Amino acid sequence: MEFQMRFRHSHGNLHIETMGGFDGSAAEKLLQLVRREYPAGGRIFIDTAGVDSVHPSGRHALNAGLGVTLVPASSLFFRGEKGFQMAPDGSRVLVVNPEFLKDRAGEGAEKSTHQKKHKCCGNCAHCTCRHHKHDDYRGAEEMRMTVWRHPVG
């Protein structure tokens, strides 16, 4: 599958969804998007769930290309397992705790009466069904994510 991206801005941050194979040319496309859309001082969240393969040239190109941009590596947050293969030095990888996903799916616990009858309108203060109207991601603590700092050098 050819590398594709979708992006959006939310609360001063750039959110990028990536799909397809990640190689050197994909890294260059990602860098072009980041250079064009990066809000200085914000964070960049890159979702890797749609990435089906990562070629070593992709990480190398991203690492080298990031050095000539005004984007600090510490502003990059990769979400998903493929982030470990893609993330340049100094960036971070976010991984959702599998227990959280299990709890969210209702496995192992009976849903409350409210949860069974609940039909989301997108206005819930702590909406967990992903139909919420507010277009932002919850913090790492609320999502029960593990933040891994990618080593520098």
Q: pLDDT for 90-110, tens place per residue?
A: 999 998 777 766 666 665 445
Helix (H) or strand (E) holding 51: strand 44-54
What are the structure tokens assigned to 30, written together? 């990602």
How much is the pTM?
0.66
pLDDT by residue (tens digit) across 115-148? 555 566 666 666 666 554 444 444 444 444 455 5
